[in-house]
């Protein structure tokens, strides 16, 4: 098995990140760049000055060179055409400049010389003025021109979108708990969010993520080589829900003025979809600010070339500028990954709804139709599918990394459609039945876990990413076939218990990346490269769903334990960092504040200590990055005008 450190991408949300001290991209110092720009501009001005001087000399009317030029014009021979004979050449020639035309041509040439001389004198004066200005004044003029061009391009690229009725939005500004103890805990989560945001604002603004110990920006290959402000986009809806509106406004202004998708950068289609398009759409629905919708549609257009494959299964990566796509080199025989191409449906349906353009809906429905036609070994979906041949790659099935959010989006497509997309619900039910039959087991100690199917046998290991499944089973309990709602709610509770044990059996009370169920080892990481915690949200996510559906106080207690552990062991003066070994009493930091920590972990904790009327689940569906998107209630007459969604 490829170790997590080698996987650029590994499932539902994001690949296992750098386990050691990670290197971030180096950026040129501003001052050095300024000096270089000034020198470049001065050289341009000097070149223009020399060229103009030479031009002025060349066109002086009294020069012998120019006299030769005049003589040449007078002596040019051109064919004489006899128009009286059908326009055919009669064989004669006229001498240019003979007769009365000679004087007229000389006047025209003189006017031309005067105009050139005047233009050159004007240019020389302008160049002289430029050379007399200070470097700061020159730089200011350059910046002004750049801003004009940028504004022009922005206005050109911001095509107005058709007006679409916004769904009835419920529970945006609710959720205040009456219990003082619960309110105090929720306020603590809000304080943690402010600490994470303010340090990113100070040390990593505009970069994708933050290195809180080094106090500088950080990025990974999923975002390419550009500063796209991933943390800003990912955190917007959390800020809004928490009532941090000044911080929200800061983020909005950066997005409006600096977020540019026309960069020469290769990005993960999956990650950019769930973080950027999901985050922008959620921010739009919550705030009503059009800029977020416009940016989401601009980015979606940049992702569409990834679907240009023989099968329509998209590439894992696409260059935002060139549109060239490719797959991860480590993925089975050049395959695309189930959890990546299967985690586009929610966002793309909303894009078609908001734009009236069916292309987004058609892309994801094509993927679904293709999958329905394919044979599935033991009813399971393998994690790899070749986009060229349309055949499965290695027969590896997982409800954790590489597979997870595909199953999540089947259920959520049904929920988001106001439970009208019965095809998606059937696919989810069929998949869960196969998973329960082949992947879910009980350990000797009575812990329910979800293993991974590899090459015909079950690997008795569960990843932190897989822990989202407890919440998923609870969310899908209502509406399950054969009246098995109680069964799936209980299954969700068992998964939540197992994942809590994986936290409780560590020194830091934070869960490892993966844990085994072999022999006497249960819910414990064995390999060193699986002992890290990178601020992941999946366990807390399951606690929140289980709280919403059961109101069992243990889920709030477990969530508070996790929040305290994060605040104690992951908090540093410059933000929050992951730790490399949850079994060590003196852990070392990985020095990365992940964008999903603000988007998911802190949001789920805040919701856990809020009342249920904040983002109620019959009106909102959360994408796999915890960005809430409204249910498109077909019974709501305000939606009837959109022919695409209808």
Catalytic residues: 513
How far CA 481 is from CA of 131, 251, 425, 476, 494, in Å, comes to 80, 44, 10, 10, 20
Question: Is 195 within 8 Å of 244 (Cβ atoms)?
Answer: no
According to DSSP H, which parts of 288-344 are helical?
290-303, 338-341
Question: Is 282 within 8 Å of 628 (Cβ atoms)?
Answer: yes
**Paired sense of beta strands 266-268 and 317-319, if any:** antiparallel
Of the candidates 546, 545, 540, 534, the one whose C-alpha atom is nearest the C-alpha of residue 559 is 540
Give the CA angle between residues 604, 398, 543 to the nearest 5°: 20
**What distance in Å separates the CA atoms of residue 538 and residue 596, rounded to the nearest whole number?**
11
CA 645 to chain centroid? 24
- Please report where in the chains the tokens 């078609």 appear, as a residue: 352
Extended strands (E) in 531-593: 571-572, 575-576
**What distance in Å separates the CA atoms of residue 185 and residue 196, rounded to the nearest whole number?**
17
How far CA 40 is from CA of 29, 124, 609, in Å, comes to 17, 19, 57
SS3 529: helix
Q: What phi and psi, each to the nearest 5 degrees, are found at residue 619?
A: -120, -20
How far CA 136 is from CA of 129, 133, 145, 562, in Å, comes to 14, 8, 14, 52
Helices 30-58 and 101-132, axial angle in degrees (round to 10): 150
- Please report where in the chains the tokens 């559906």 appear, as a residue: 549
Tokens in use for 62? Answer: 């009294």
The number of residues in the chain equals 646
Tokens in use for 508? Answer: 């830091």
Could you tell me the strand order of the sheet in which 521-524 lies? 461-463, 514-518, 521-524
Burial 188-222 (b: 16+ CB within 10 A, else e): bbbebbebbbebbbebbbebbbbbbbbbbbbbbeb
Give the CA angle between residues 408, 291, 610 to the nearest 5°: 50
Burial 585-605 (b: 16+ CB within 10 A, else e): eebebbbbbbbbbbbbbbbbb
Question: Is 361 within 8 Å of 349 (Cβ atoms)?
Answer: yes
């Amino acid at each position: 098995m490829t170790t997590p450190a080698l996987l650029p991408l590994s499932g539902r949300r994001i690949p296992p990140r750098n386990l050691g001290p990670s290197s971030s991209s180096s950026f040129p110092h501003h001052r050095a760049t300024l000096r270089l720009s000034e020198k470049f501009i001065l050289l341009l001005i000097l070149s223009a000055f020399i060229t103009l001087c030479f031009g002025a000399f060349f066109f002086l009317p009294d020069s012998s060179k120019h006299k030769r030029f005049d003589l040449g014009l007078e002596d040019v021979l051109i064919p004489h055409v006899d128009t009286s004979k059908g326009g055919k050449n009669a064989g004669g020639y006229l001498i240019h400049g003979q007769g009365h035309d000679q004087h007229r041509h000389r006047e025209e040439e003189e006017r031309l010389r005067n105009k050139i001389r005047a233009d050159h004198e004007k240019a020389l004066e302008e160049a002289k003025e430029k050379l007399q200005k200070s470097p700061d004044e020159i730089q200011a003029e350059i910046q002004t021109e750049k801003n004009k061009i940028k504004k022009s391009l922005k206005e050109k690229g911001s095509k107005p979108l058709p007006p679409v009725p916004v769904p009835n939005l419920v529970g945006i500004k609710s959720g205040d708990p009456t219990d003082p103890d619960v309110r105090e805990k929720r306020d603590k989560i809000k304080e943690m969010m402010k600490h994470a945001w303010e340090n990113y604002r100070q040390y990593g603004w505009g970069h994708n993520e933050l290195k809180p110990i080094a106090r500088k920006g950080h990025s990974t290959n999923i975002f390419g080589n550009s500063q796209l402000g991933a943390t800003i986009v990912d955190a917007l809806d959390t800020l809004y829900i928490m009532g941090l509106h000044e911080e929200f406004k800061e983020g909005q202004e950066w997005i409006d003025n600096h977020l540019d998708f026309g960069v020469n950068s290769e990005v993960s289609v999956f990650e950019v979809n769930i973080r950027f398009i999901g985050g922008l759409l959620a921010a739009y629905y919550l705030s009503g600010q059009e800029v977020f919708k416009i940016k989401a549609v601009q980015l979606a257009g940049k992702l569409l070339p990834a679907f240009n494959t023989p099968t329509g299964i998209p590439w894992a990566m696409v260059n935002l500028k060139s549109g060239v796509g490719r797959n991860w080199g480590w993925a089975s025989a050049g395959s695309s990954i189930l959890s990546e191409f299967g985690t586009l449906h929610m966002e793309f349906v909303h894009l078609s709804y908001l734009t009236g353009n069916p292309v987004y809906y058609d892309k994801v429905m094509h993927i679904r139709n293709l999958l329905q036609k394919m044979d599935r070994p033991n009813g399971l979906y393998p994690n790899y599918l070749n986009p060229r041949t349309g055949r499965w790659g290695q027969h590896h099935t997982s409800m954790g990394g590489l597979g997870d959010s595909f199953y999540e989006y089947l259920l959520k497509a049904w929920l988001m459609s106001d439970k009208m997309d019965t095809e998606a619900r059937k696919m989810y039910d069929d998949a869960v039945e196969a998973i329960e039959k082949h992947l879910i087991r009980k350990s000797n100690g009575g812990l329910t876990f979800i293993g991974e199917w590899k090459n015909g046998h079950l690997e008795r290991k569960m990843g932190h990413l897989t822990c989202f499944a407890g919440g998923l089973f609870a969310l899908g309990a209502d509406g399950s076939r054969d009246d098995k709602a109680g069964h799936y709610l209980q299954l969700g509770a068992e998964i939540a218990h197992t994942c809590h044990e994986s936290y409780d059996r560590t020194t830091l009370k934070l869960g490892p990346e993966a844990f085994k169920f072999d022999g006497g080892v249960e819910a414990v990481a064995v390999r060193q490269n699986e002992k890290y915690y990178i601020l992941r949200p999946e366990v807390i996510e399951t606690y929140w769903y289980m709280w919403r559906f059961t109101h069992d106080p243990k889920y709030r207690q477990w969530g508070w334990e996790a929040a305290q552990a994060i605040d104690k062991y992951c908090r540093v003066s410059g933000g929050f960092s992951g730790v490399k070994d949850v079994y060590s009493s003196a852990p070392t930091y990985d020095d990365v504040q992940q964008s999903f920590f603000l988007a998911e972990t802190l949001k789920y904790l805040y919701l856990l200590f809020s009342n249920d009327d904040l983002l109620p689940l019959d009106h909102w569906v959360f994408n796999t990055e915890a960005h809430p998107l409204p249910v498109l209630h077909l019974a709501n007459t305000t939606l009837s005008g959109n022919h695409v969604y209808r």
